[in-house]
Amino acid sequence: MPVVITYFPHGATVDNENGISSGWSDPPLSEKGKQQALELRERIKGRKFDVVFCSDLKRAADTAKLCFGDGTFVIEDRRLRECNYGKLNGSPSAIVEPLQEKRIKERFDGGECYEDVRERIFDFLEFIKQNHENDSVAVVSHKAPQLIFDVLLKGKTWEQAFADDWRKQGAWQPGWEYILE
């Protein structure tokens, strides 16, 4: 039976507002990010999720707790982390973002490539398939995991996933649905 996964991005961070690509560094949500999480809570009020997973990085965990925190058990999972940019964690986005599409198979110095993240997300999805059959699952995470959901669950190429990324289009929405069969 299929699993419906609804993906939610974490709220804005201090790094986001300062043009920094965090990677595995762990900045807090900004005041705007906290407000975004509370607004998302209102926008999805009435939707039922059987389980909520989030990255173990503070920005995703805090978004999940603000959005789903009223008695909903939120499970932090390190497989849902952003790509590890290695020596470039916490560096200006003007440096990191142009490199992302070039790091599909080639690792960031001291970090990961997108194929490494793909392996983490594939493992996470296998776990979901085995343990949450027929459930409605919420995931609060980062850019790289969402791109990989597009590749693994929507059949997009890496090039399509990067080109269609809502962040480039400014096309945020209150959740993206994926079907895991």
For 129-177, the pLDDT digits (tens) are 999 998 999 999 999 999 999 999 999 999 999 999 999 888 999 999 9
Integer Cα distance of 129 and 10 in angstroms: 23
If one counts the domains in the chain, the total is 1
**DSSP class of 76:** E
Task: Check residue 21 and report its DSSP letter.
Answer: E
State the average pLDDT over residues 16-31: 97
170 Cβ contact list (under 8 Å, min separation 6): none
pLDDT of 52: 96
CATH of the domain at 58: 3.40.50.1240
Q: What is the pTM assigned to this prediction?
A: 0.96
Terminal C-alpha separation, the chain: 6
Cβ neighbours, 10 Å, residue 178: 19
Q: Which residues are catalytic, by number?
A: 10, 82
Please give the structure tokens belonging to residue 150. 């597009």
Encode pLDDT of 45-92 as tens digits: 989 999 999 999 999 999 999 999 767 789 999 999 999 999 999 999
Average pLDDT over residues 126-130: 96
What range defines the domain where residue 75 resides? 3-180
Confirm if 103 and 30 have CB atoms less than 8 A apart.
no
